[in-house]
């Protein structure tokens, strides 16, 4: 665990210079991974919540929270019960806090610059089995993560003036019509009206969304949609 923590250059991760303190991230994660009681876990948590991955007093989240989330999940799985509770609480806080203007996104490995909350949610869904096994706390985190859905377009067909987009949906696309942002080739395109054409069958991720007043050529295969409201989140 310590090797994974030290492998990240926390100082190279962008963050508001008046609030983000990268030294707190590595120090807090190390302390939390070694915590053996409630006091030690709380002290480590205060490092991470006081300018490390979030600034709790101002309810701000930093891009470092995205890289810290899988490490916190490992601590929750392997560490002391107090460390587990602290780690899950920090992730919950990071998911609900708002980023500062100019620090709302973090570039993924594929070059996609997605909102911090959506990136954190992806890490949580990758550990669904583990979190579901931790009872109410874990299931609550998964439910919160589901609101930060992701839809990858595989194929499109025209439906009158609209387009039916077939693809893979992770998370929960809400009822009614919603705005989305589409990511493709490093470009973000606003889609003002997206709704369900049909929902995934139980146990499947395959879904179909209707993109209103858009032609299939505007929605290329491989493009990824995220909630527009997540892209608008700012402290």
Q: What is the pLDDT of residue 198?
A: 82
Q: What is the pLDDT of residue 135?
A: 83
| CA angle in degrees (0–180, nearest 5) for 183-121-33 | 135
Q: What is the pLDDT of residue 91?
A: 97
Q: What is the pLDDT of residue 179?
A: 97
Q: What is the pLDDT of residue 86?
A: 96
Q: What is the pLDDT of residue 228?
A: 96
Mean pLDDT by 10 residues, the chain (235 residues): 88 93 96 96 96 90 97 94 95 96 86 91 94 89 95 96 96 93 93 90 87 96 96 85
């Amino acid at each position: 665990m310590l090797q994974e923590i030290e492998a990240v250059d926390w100082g190279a991760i962008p963050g508001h210079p008046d609030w983000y303190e990268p030294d707190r991230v590595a120090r807090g994660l190390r302390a939390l991974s070694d915590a053996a009681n409630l006091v030690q876990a709380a002290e480590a948590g205060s490092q991470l919540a006081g300018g490390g991955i979030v600034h709790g007093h101002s309810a701000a989240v930093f891009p470092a929270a995205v890289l810290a989330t899988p490490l916190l999940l490992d601590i929750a799985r392997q560490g002391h019960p107090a460390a587990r509770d602290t780690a899950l609480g920090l992730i919950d806080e990071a998911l609900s806090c708002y980023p500062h203007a100019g620090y709302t996104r973090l570039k993924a490995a594929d070059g996609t610059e997605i909102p911090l909350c959506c990136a954190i949610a992806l890490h949580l869904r990758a550990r669904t089995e583990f979190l579901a096994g931790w009872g109410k706390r874990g299931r609550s985190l998964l439910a919160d993560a589901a609101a930060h859905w992701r839809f990858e377009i595989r194929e499109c067909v025209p439906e009158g003036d609209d387009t039916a987009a077939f693809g893979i949906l992770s998370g929960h696309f809400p009822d009614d019509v919603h705005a989305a942002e589409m990511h493709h080739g490093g470009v973000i395109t606003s889609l003002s009206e997206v709704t369900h054409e049909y929902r995934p069958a139980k146990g499947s991720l395959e879904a179909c969304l209707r993109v209103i007043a858009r032609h299939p050529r505007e929605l290329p295969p491989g493009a990824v949609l995220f909630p527009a409201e997540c892209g608008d989140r700012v402290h």
